Structure 1
């Protein structure tokens, strides 16, 4: 059912509001990445718990993204858009005023909830506003360009705010832009909902979110308490039970499951999602290690760190925007594999960085390679995850892939932090001084990241080659449009 708008709104205005929503989301994430060392120092984060700055956000986004994609169908686009924007604004305020590590982690979790609601609804609004295929593709293209621009802008803005004002200012960025977004969304976003949208699968969302959190917590605590420790065993058993209940709910209980398990019978979908878990176990974790390498080891200022990130952000933007044509002609598999190899090469190169590494000699090149690799994998993997699906499941394919990306990033970060920390401690016990001991830990983490990416290359062989789709299926060209639309660049 469509609820009439209070006024006729030009589609370009709606596009601008959706792009602003995407910009606020990406700017917020990218700017916080720069401020990690300062946040850790200001709120006295335990070194082994610092990854929760990222994982609280990733787990909330991972568990609720598919659910968030259905909210607009049930409750209306404008209402859900406003809810997501309000939550992100509130999270920015809560994070900016946080006085403890726990309060900051809670704020980041709330930010993830807001993002899980806001990002899908911006795409829903664009899809219902732009009916023509070419116009829709252009709108999606601009939306993705804003994501890339937000990533590049965010690292610079985050560096400037952190250095010249305070790390708290990076959290307040969304609180400043949020009210403007709320006003514009209230005035211009159309109110529209679907008839017969069914009910929300709250059990599925809850079991996926809490089960993932329990799994991450159990792996993290194993370093301090051992795999046989009571809290570790309890957490991991709870994770297994909750995730098993999630699968049961999807298969038998939910009338409208978040993830119809039948989609995994499609070889391309299964392979693309496994590639996403492995690839984002590396690409989704690198911001943590790179920020710490730049600021703690190499003693870059926050502003220098923001500028140093630019090759990575621009590499993502350029590759994601320029690869749609080759994906259409060659298929997703070769492009995806090229991106994974590029990323692995960059990680291995970055693993050689030490306390005296020059930026252009040892950092610029690997960052650019990693950025290009991520941009290629972003677009090609989403194309693979949607090609061959019935048209009504194209959005599901994109949403599922984004969820597995977040899951891979969350699990990858906790595993890599544990590996890097153990290596650092071992080096220190053998008399290696700081920061060389920390460099050894980060080097091992980058080597493991490269291993994840090279393993993903092997999995990518399972992605089918180019083939002519039947008329009822999503074509390669449409899949690429969906890929551009669904890509999250940070």
Structure 2
């Protein structure tokens, strides 16, 4: 149903005299690539917050407060990298390289989670993940830069609105799909006679593996589709009389 509605929307925008979203904006490789990368990356990244919290509480027996404190390094790391590191790294190496580096860190975090044990230790099994997930602080600012760089000045508002929309869509799809996969896998393992903790862990592992695959797909789009933004032309010096 959702795909049918999306197809109908695109068809209408292609024929409308005054379209809500002129499809010409999708002709830009950076606009299209950045939005596609964002959907894939956030589908894999955003579900991390929910699934890891569920794993800590349902498998490890953490309280809500303990779960929040355990995830604090990830939140602080993402915020710190986004506010204090992302702009400097992008200025030195470019937004595309910064994005790729951030995605590699996220893939590393999700890869570690695919091997999470039933009896995990926080320092050995979870803290490295919390530190690697701070790569998300590089991803979103770089994506915004790349997505806006491909739009004409007259389309800046449209590009920003599209970027915000695909961000929300990516997060919603990620939570729905990965949670469903985890629940389905857990149910099968329970039917096979595994304990509740082992079954839940197996379900979360599948979700994390899918998350890693989504991030790898986002990385491939970033590498093959996105291009370094063109530097702005220097302003002409005024003619002195």
TM-score (norm 1): 0.45
Mapped to 2, the partners of 1:392 and 1:466 lie a distance apart of 17
- Counterpart of 2:132 (choices 365, 369, 375) is 369
The 5-angstrom pairing of residues 42-441 of structure 1 reads 236=1, 239-253=2-16, 255=18, 257=20, 259-321=21-83, 322-370=85-133, 372-441=134-203
Mapped to 2, the partners of 1:442 and 1:295 lie a distance apart of 13
The question of whether the paired residues in 1 share the 8 Å contact of 2:150 and 2:229 is answered with no
- For residues 312-365 of structure 1, what are the alpha-carbon distances to aligned partners after superposition, in whole Å with 9 as ceiling and x for unaligned? 111111111121132133222111111111001011112222232111111111
SS of aligned partner of 1:366: helix
Mapped to 1, the partners of 2:76 and 2:160 lie a distance apart of 23
- For residues 86-109 of structure 1, what are the alpha-carbon distances to aligned partners after superposition, in whole Å with 9 as ceiling and x for unaligned? xxxxxxxxxxxxxxxxxxxxxxxx
For structure 1, the residue ranges without an aligned partner over 5 or more in a row are 1-235, 473-490
The question of whether the paired residues in 1 share the 8 Å contact of 2:149 and 2:229 is answered with no
- For residues 231-259 of structure 1, what are the alpha-carbon distances to aligned partners after superposition, in whole Å with 9 as ceiling and x for unaligned? xxxxx3xx3332222113333336351x2
Mapped to 2, the partners of 1:319 and 1:260 lie a distance apart of 34
The question of whether the paired residues in 2 share the 8 Å contact of 1:388 and 1:469 is answered with no
- For residues 235-287 of structure 1, what are the alpha-carbon distances to aligned partners after superposition, in whole Å with 9 as ceiling and x for unaligned? x3xx3332222113333336351x22111111111111110111011112122
Shift of 1:438: 0.5
Counting matched residue pairs gives 233
SS of aligned partner of 2:120: coil
Give the ranges of 4+ consecutive aligned residues of structure 1 lying more than 3 Å apart after TM superposition: 469-472
- For residues 292-325 of structure 1, what are the alpha-carbon distances to aligned partners after superposition, in whole Å with 9 as ceiling and x for unaligned? 1111111111111111111111111111112113
- For residues 121-170 of structure 1, what are the alpha-carbon distances to aligned partners after superposition, in whole Å with 9 as ceiling and x for unaligned? xxxxxxxxxxxxxxxxxxxxxxxxxxxxxxxxxxxxxxxxxxxxxxxxxx
CA RMSD of aligned residues (A): 1.8
TM-score (norm 2): 0.90
